[in-house]
Amino acid sequence: MGVSDTDLVMVCAGDLAGQLRGKAVPRRNLEARRDTGIGWTPTNVFITSFGPIAPSPWGALGDLLIRPDFAALVDLDLADWGVRESFVLGDILELDGTHWSCCPRGQLKAAAARLEERHGLTIQAAFEHEFHYSGAEAQPGLGYALRALRRMGDFPDRLMAVLDRAGLTLDTFMPEYGPGQCEVTVGHQPALRAADEASILRELVRATARGLGARASFAPILDPDGVGNGVHVHFSLLDSNGEPVNHDGAQPFGVSRTAGAFLAGVLRHLPDFLALTAPAVVSYLRLTPNRWSAAYTNLGNQDREAALRICPVFGPREDSHVARAFHFEFRAADAAATPHLVLAALINAGIAGLDADLPTPTVTEADLSTLDPAQVADLGCQRLPQSLAEALDRLAASDWARAAFGETLVDTFLRHKRTEIEVMEGLSEAEMCGVYGRGY
């Protein structure tokens, strides 16, 4: 049928539940919405992923708008594949055009601007996503297997084509370790674009799966005894000339003083912001030792159980190549979190480390779960909060978080997520995984 000017384009924004929500307008009216946006209601931020709306201090009062950012427009008409996706990401603004404090995209823009103003630095990031695809016969033992890829039929190739047409830089696809689990990685981008692409990628994975009569779930974990679906954020810092500042061959493990202070800030504040990056009740089933996720506030060298990992440099050993390729990975995030808030949290915490000129954290090379708590403490590390309730209490008590994200964001987040905990009460771990599996 082709594209008609009455076809709908959804103007949407990421929210605290990790969902894209908004309103759709006929294509012929989209341009007129460039400045005026679409009307939005503060209380919408309390819509949980499971139905109930958390108690809102605003009730039926108040008006906001979502203003589309046409740089984040996805417009795909791949009807043969059942992928007809037209949506544009936007910012949730007050009526005077200033950012609403609960807009994750606004939080990220503010954090990135602070990093640039205070320290002359920008951040590049790439989000690595794991998810489960329902459309192939799942079988244990086929992690990374060619047979697992083949069983997924058209899905992986279609997905690459869909992401390519949406303007993402293709990198890798893999049949991950868990039965039915996949991972997709894309190229790095400046912070805002990287987070936008993470939001876009999740929706396009879902859309591609749906076009094949299947489903993709990004829930943090689908089986309490299985592996989780992580979101790993690869990142690096650049100076005002766009030169990377992460590597210094004279420093231990090559971590420059600038990067070391940033990373130290991230680890210092990680227990306080973890609820923002791992915001589901079941996130804490994933963040346990021996699952290759993250369980401690450590900087690990090439360690896939570290909250922050120093990534290996592949290819030539020349200084210029190493300086460009050397980077870090944050592993304590999942797709119940809005990517913009994940990056905002990393940047805000990194700024705190830079402000205080914190020393580079001790780089760990051991399995911390085999050490006793005193040994872990000697390394300057601590166990991450072990439940969403505990992580929320840490967030609530953090003066740093209230200053960095603002009181409104913190209080709104706490209300929303404490309601989510109530929704899950009485469910077994397996039942919760099922509910989150559908919710994400």
List contacts with ligand GLU (CB under 6 A): 130, 227-228, 230, 286, 291-293, 304, 331
Q: Which does 196 bind (CB under 5 to 8 A by kind): Mg ion, ligand GLU, none?
A: none
Q: Which residues pair with 160 in a beta bridge?
A: none
Contact between 155 and 202 (Cβ < 8 Å): no
Q: Which is nearer to Mg ion, 85 or 183 (CB)?
A: 183
Q: Which does 257 bind (CB under 5 to 8 A by kind): ligand GLU, Mg ion, none?
A: none
Q: Which is nearer to ligand GLU, 23 or 291 (CB)?
A: 291
3-class secondary-structure state, position 141? coil
Pairing between strand 299-301 and 189-190? Answer: unpaired
- The answer for residues whose C-beta is within 8 angstroms of residue 30's C-beta and 6 or more apart is 9, 11, 68, 88
Q: Which does 417 bind (CB under 5 to 8 A by kind): ligand GLU, Mg ion, none?
A: none
Closest distance of CB 162 from ligand GLU, Å: 22
Q: Which is nearer to Mg ion, 183 or 248 (CB)?
A: 183
3-class secondary-structure state, position 1? coil
d(CA 340, CA 108): 6
Q: Which is nearer to ligand GLU, 301 or 408 (CB)?
A: 301
- The answer for residues whose C-beta is within 8 angstroms of residue 106's C-beta and 6 or more apart is 91, 92, 93, 99, 100
* Binding footprint of Mg ion on the chain (CB under 5 A): 183
Q: Which does 293 bind (CB under 5 to 8 A by kind): Mg ion, ligand GLU, none?
A: ligand GLU
Q: Which is nearer to Mg ion, 83 or 184 (CB)?
A: 184
Q: Which is nearer to ligand GLU, 100 or 436 (CB)?
A: 436
d(CA 54, CA 48): 7
Nearest residue to ligand GLU by CB is 230
d(CA 357, CA 276): 24
Closest distance of CB 108 from Mg ion, Å: 24
Q: Which does 331 bind (CB under 5 to 8 A by kind): ligand GLU, Mg ion, none?
A: ligand GLU
Q: Which is nearer to ligand GLU, 134 or 408 (CB)?
A: 134
Closest distance of CB 176 from Mg ion, Å: 5
Closest distance of CB 188 from ligand GLU, Å: 17
Closest distance of CB 293 from ligand GLU, Å: 4
Q: Which is nearer to ligand GLU, 40 or 328 (CB)?
A: 328
Closest distance of CB 354 from ligand GLU, Å: 27
d(CA 116, CA 347): 10
Q: Which does 227 bind (CB under 5 to 8 A by kind): ligand GLU, Mg ion, none?
A: ligand GLU
Closest distance of CB 143 from Mg ion, Å: 10
Backbone angles phi, psi at 259, to 5 degrees: -65, -40
Contact between 12 and 30 (Cβ < 8 Å): no
Q: Which does 286 bind (CB under 5 to 8 A by kind): ligand GLU, Mg ion, none?
A: ligand GLU
- The answer for residues whose C-beta is within 8 angstroms of residue 417's C-beta and 6 or more apart is 16, 275, 279, 388, 392
CA distances from 121 to 128, 197, 209, 250, 352 (A): 23, 21, 38, 21, 13
